[in-house]
Structure 1
Amino acid sequence: MGGVHAAGVANTFSPSWSEYLPIRGVNYHIRQWGRAGAPKVFLFHGWMDSSVTWQFVVDEILAKDSNWHFIAPDWSGYGHSEPRPGGSMFIGFLGDMEQVIRHYAPTETLKIIAHSMGANLSSIYASARAERVSHFVNLEGLAPMPGGEFGKPLHYQVARWLNGSRGRTRAYSSREAFVERLTQQNPRLSQTRAAFLAEHFLQADEEGGFVPRAEVEARQVAPIYPHPEQVKELLRHISAKVLVVRGTDSFVSECFAGHDDVLAERLACYQHRSDLVLQGASHNMHQEFPAEVAQASLALFAR
């Protein structure tokens, strides 16, 4: 096991600790909260994010029940995890997920809360490892969406990936500038929480500004994604109890607007599904409505 260090945070936030693990050739950062030895919950973040995104949901759950052990990796190239040379393929993250789970929970059944890209990956994992995953909270892992990149012809998707880097990571003149962007995009995110995210997700660049901890190559969109019919096949094989959380003001909801039949058909594939639709929530509902996500997650875990 790699080095261990305390990750102290403000008094209003639950303390976390970090471990570093060698995962498929790169050094992975694993953020953890709660009590080691307690029932485990795995948390998988989305695209252009990091493990710190789960702080507020963790705070809410631990305030209600302290007997949990939360395990949240930074995907390779994000947060404090080492980037994989040449970037990481979407399906490669799935291999990383398997190794993280094998390390922390080699035999027990799994509870997962995941967001966006992490939730799409978790959906595939919960299907491939149906005997392992007992509960899954899916925060808008609903790809492919109508009209999105994955809805375009396959030759276009592959060519886009072959064209290479998505360009230079956007820099911010200060952490305050990043906070302003976060609160503009997520009006229900408090200044205090936005400042916490900025403190942990930004790093100084060589020009005196700040950039997100997200390597350019880690931001590549997958060149090939399962076809909608394949996604439905995967979802049908998930035996876990699933909670699907959506935000009414999310870009995901916008993509499905006018395609209610597509969404309904997709959701109907789950064997055991409940839904939570958060009025006024953006795609980052776990940051804007952490109490609601926490309460619904605990209710699912109790079933």
Structure 2
Amino acid sequence: MNPAPVYQARRTARSVFVTVRGLRYHLLAWGDASLATPERPPLVLLHGWMDVAASFQFMVDALSADRYVVAADWRGFGLTDASGQDGYWFTDYLGDLDALLDHPELGLAGRAVDLLGHSMGGNVVMLYAGVRPGRIRRLVNLEGFGMPATVPDEAPGRYARWLDELKTPMQLRRYDSLAEVAARLRKTNPLLGEDKAAWLAPHWARQDGDGRWRILGDTAHKRSNPQLYRVDEVLACWKRIEAPLLWVEGDRTDVAKWWGHRYPRSEFEQRLAVVAKVQRQLLAPAGHMLHHDQPEALAQRLETFLG
């Protein structure tokens, strides 16, 4: 059997390691700070759950102009240290992002940035743009829908479930080869090209001493979150967003598959309406991983929005 073709990156990223809130953080950087101007500030990219910074390579390659782009592996993902705690919380992601934007080695401190987040990362950047509105020039949310609303009566059951899970070791499946890792990526997202899956696999997994491959994600990410998702608090942040927002989604994304009737699309539209300046884009054919499915179309719309 012939090996799968491997995607050839157009722009070369360099790895950068910095200390953030006691953790060794890994970032990828394309270009350097000398490319940044007030009209074209640094573009900061933040990935979603069970993903890595390298996931944005295809979109960055499709940008027509060189610019300074930075993508971070969130804590407990990729090559960034795990938290060493029993779970991961939005407050820690906010703290990490704030520290990254102020870090003297990244060339981001003291200036507004263009900020993009996908899925979980999209949820984080929306909160951050409301908490620190002056730090964001343009904001991009790739399918960061938020979470279903909760009510206080759910708290006892969620705490109990979390306590039970603390007694059970969490595990992630391991794979015998990179080809199996690539196949796993394509099973999750059938629109992901074979060449892109082959390129992404070694960035998404690492080989252990026994020769098997493990996903670069802390198993603690699989535990239930005992904290309730308080929509009123989230919307209080969203209302304070000053930057223009570009909302992008794929035509094949069906939120009902994730949450059923607990979080209908109509409720998301009501939430998004509190943001003052919103532009929308729909990519087709594309699912939740739209930066994999339509990187060229996404890059084009991104550059038009960023100006």
Determine if the alignment matches structure 1 residue 89 to structure 2 residue 89: yes
CA distance in 2, matches of 1:152, 1:285: 36
Match of 2:185 among 182, 187, 190: 182
CA contact (8 A) 1:44 1:118 kept: yes
CA distance in 1, matches of 2:152, 2:181: 31
Counterpart of 1:250 in structure 2 is: 253
Match of 2:207 among 204, 207, 229: 204
Report how far residue 150 of structure 1 moved. 9.4
Match of 2:13 among 16, 38, 42: 16
Counterpart of 1:287 in structure 2 is: 292
Q: Closer, same or farther in 2 for the Cα pair 1:152/1:20, shift >3 Å?
A: farther
Local SS of the residue matching 1:131: helix
CA distance in 1, matches of 2:160, 2:65: 49
CA contact (8 A) 2:26 2:79 kept: yes
Counterpart of 2:146 in structure 1 is: 143
Counterpart of 1:6 in structure 2 is: none
CA distance in 2, matches of 1:98, 1:127: 13
Report how far residue 166 of structure 1 moved. 6.8
Counterpart of 1:70 in structure 2 is: 69
Report how far residue 231 of structure 1 moved. 2.1
Report how far residue 203 of structure 1 moved. 0.7
What RMSD over aligned residues (CA atoms) do the two structures have, in Å? 2.4
Counterpart of 2:78 in structure 1 is: 79
Q: Structure 2, unaligned stretches of length 5 or more?
A: 1-5, 37-41
1:119 alignment partner AA:
G
Q: Closer, same or farther in 2 for the Cα pair 1:44/1:237, shift >3 Å?
A: same
CA contact (8 A) 1:48 1:219 kept: no
Report how far residue 167 of structure 1 moved. 1.6
1:168-247 correspondence to structure 2 within 5 Å: 168-247=171-250
Aligned length: 289
CA distance in 2, matches of 1:161, 1:295: 43
CA contact (8 A) 1:145 1:255 kept: no
CA distance in 2, matches of 1:251, 1:262: 14
Report how far residue 34 of structure 1 moved. 2.3
1:261 alignment partner AA:
S
Report how far residue 151 of structure 1 moved. 11
CA contact (8 A) 2:170 2:223 kept: no
CA contact (8 A) 1:247 1:253 kept: no
1:182-216 residue CA offsets vs partner (Å, 9 max, x unmatched): 22222221111111110211111344311111111
Q: Closer, same or farther in 2 for the Cα pair 1:150/1:98, shift >3 Å?
A: farther
Q: Closer, same or farther in 2 for the Cα pair 1:150/1:111, shift >3 Å?
A: farther
TM-score, scaled relative to structure 1: 0.87
Report how far residue 145 of structure 1 moved. 3.6
Counterpart of 1:267 in structure 2 is: 272
CA distance in 2, matches of 1:151, 1:37: 50
CA contact (8 A) 2:170 2:222 kept: no
Local SS of the residue matching 2:174: coil
| Paired-residue identity, % | 28
CA contact (8 A) 2:285 2:293 kept: no
1:251-270 residue CA offsets vs partner (Å, 9 max, x unmatched): 53645777343122112111
CA contact (8 A) 2:9 2:58 kept: no
Q: Structure 1, unaligned stretches of length 5 or more?
A: 1-8
Determine if the alignment matches structure 1 residue 109 to structure 2 residue 112: yes
Bigger drift between 149-158 and 133-142 goes to 149-158
TM-score, scaled relative to structure 2: 0.86
